[in-house]
Amino acid sequence: MPDSFFYSERFFLSYDIEFLVRRFTSELSYLHRNWTELGRPTVTVLLTHNLLDTDRSTFYALMKQIASGEVDGIPVRHDIMAQLLNTAAVEHVEHLKDLVLPEQPLADLLSQSCILTLAGENKKLSPSEELEIALQKDTGILESKLGQATNLYEQIALLTKLVELQPIDTKIHIHNQQRSLHDLIEEVYTQAGRLRLWSVLRQASGLQGKIDGDIGLAVGDLLVAQKFIQVGRSYHDESLITRPLSDEELMQRIVQYCREDVRDQILTQEVLLYLGLLIKARPELFSELLTLRASLLIILLTSQITRAQNSTTDEAYEILMDMPPSEIQSRLEAVLENYQTLAELPQKLETLHAQGNTEHINWHQKFGIRAAQNSA
């Protein structure tokens, strides 16, 4: 089976090599504990430039473990595919008559030239610069600014405003060429991935509605462990997930109940994915929890930064958005390890980035805090 999470085009988590390796070893561990089929599970690793154009030490360490025949205590065997197939488990997938392969070769898709200018320094916009873009309603002016912009943070801010004013498939003229907003966002996504600009990656992913292919599996793992899941800051019956959903249904709920900042929708996906990995690797962390509320966990992650760096909640939220997935996963694990102290968290943090008429969080309702208090 190929590990699809190595494909950076699908979801940006694959740009974080440390997270990729953790995810890969977690899946190996799960297979080792639960495999019951005849034949051996066969896993392929897609080698890409993405794996080698950053710090290679983590990936090389994994390769050394595989070559040694053991990955974190899990016995493995590596060989050429023809040799492994002799003892591999084989399954035929039927009913693929509706599958249509793209007419344009993959190499052509990946070799499309960049339209936007990428020679400038990539730095965050000032509040006044952000406000100027937010207040601009003239698409012509926004398109002109986009053509002149050399900063990926400015480019994604301008594209966000353009998508707010017109459909994402709208074509605009940049440098005497015509491209859709979607294609331009994908261009920014690719360049931000190369530079590991995590906030820009989350923004671009949210604008495009990117979905990690394993999000449904992660939610399923949590439900199998008899945990309910709640997305969004508003307490509403529809935001509570008690049964498996398709990826499209799940994203519809995330979009509906998360705050308007599309990065929050992506971060919610991340939290669910991390929880899905952790409940398989460390199920004891969830023993006191009945309902997993993604927004509450994001608040706790932000509060850690607020206390550690003496920052405002807005500043802490931006710092969180700039973090690589592997660091957020580690911080989330630490939050779960110390979840019993949740009742001591200042309730003033519930106002984090609240917008519109969103209901306030009931801190003692349906997410396991009573169990945590009773055990204290």
Boundary (domain end) residue, out of 191, 208, 225: 208
Looking at the structure, do residues 180 and 224 belong to the same domain, yes or no?
A: no
80 found inside a domain: yes
238 found inside a domain: yes
Looking at the structure, do residues 270 and 356 belong to the same domain, yes or no?
A: yes
Total domains in the fold of the chain: 3
Q: What pTM, to 2 d.p., does this model score?
A: 0.79
Boundary (domain end) residue, out of 187, 208, 229: 208
Looking at the structure, do residues 359 and 252 belong to the same domain, yes or no?
A: yes
Looking at the structure, do residues 56 and 147 belong to the same domain, yes or no?
A: no
104 found inside a domain: no
Q: In the prediction, which pLDDT does 83 show?
A: 84
Integer Cα distance of 360 and 370 in angstroms: 18
Q: In the prediction, which pLDDT does 6 show?
A: 52
| Mean pLDDT for all residues in the chain | 82
Q: What is the pLDDT of residues 158-198, one digit of tens each?
A: 999 999 999 999 999 998 899 999 999 999 999 999 899 99
131 found inside a domain: yes
327 found inside a domain: yes
Looking at the structure, do residues 79 and 22 belong to the same domain, yes or no?
A: yes
Q: In the prediction, which pLDDT does 31 show?
A: 83
Looking at the structure, do residues 325 and 351 belong to the same domain, yes or no?
A: yes
Q: In the prediction, which pLDDT does 28 show?
A: 85
Looking at the structure, do residues 152 and 271 belong to the same domain, yes or no?
A: no
106 found inside a domain: no
Q: What is the pLDDT of residues 26-84, one digit of tens each?
A: 888 878 888 888 888 888 777 777 666 667 788 889 889 989 999 988 898 888 888 88
Looking at the structure, do residues 271 and 185 belong to the same domain, yes or no?
A: no
HEC profile of the chain: CECHHHCCCCCHHHHCHHHHHHHHHHHHHHHHHHCCCCCECCCECCCCHHHCCCCCHHHHHHHHHHHHCEECCEECCCCCHHHHHHHECCCCCCCCCCCCCCCCCHHHHHCCCCCCCCCCCCCCCCHHHHHHHHHCCCHHHHHHHHHHCCCHHHHHHHHHHHHHHCCCCCEEEECCEEEEHHHHHHHHHHHHHHHCCHHHHHHHHHHHCCCCCCHHHHHHHHHHCCCEEECCCCCCHHHEECCCCCHHHHHHHHHHHCCCCHHHHHHHHHHHHHHHHHHHHCHHHHCCCCEEEHHHHHHHHHHHHHHHHCCCHHHHHHHHHCCCHHHHHHHHHHHHHCHHHHHHCCHHHHHCCCCCCCCCCCCCCCCCHHHHHHHC
Looking at the structure, do residues 175 and 234 belong to the same domain, yes or no?
A: no
Range of the domain at 165: 121-208
Looking at the structure, do residues 258 and 351 belong to the same domain, yes or no?
A: yes
Looking at the structure, do residues 245 and 301 belong to the same domain, yes or no?
A: yes
Looking at the structure, do residues 51 and 175 belong to the same domain, yes or no?
A: no
262 found inside a domain: yes
243 found inside a domain: yes
Boundary (domain end) residue, out of 53, 78, 94: 94
Q: In the prediction, which pLDDT does 282 show?
A: 87
What residues in the chain have per-residue pLDDT under 50? 1-2, 8, 343, 346, 348-376
Q: In the prediction, which pLDDT does 339 show?
A: 77
Q: Are 283 and 337 in contact (CB under 8 A)?
A: no
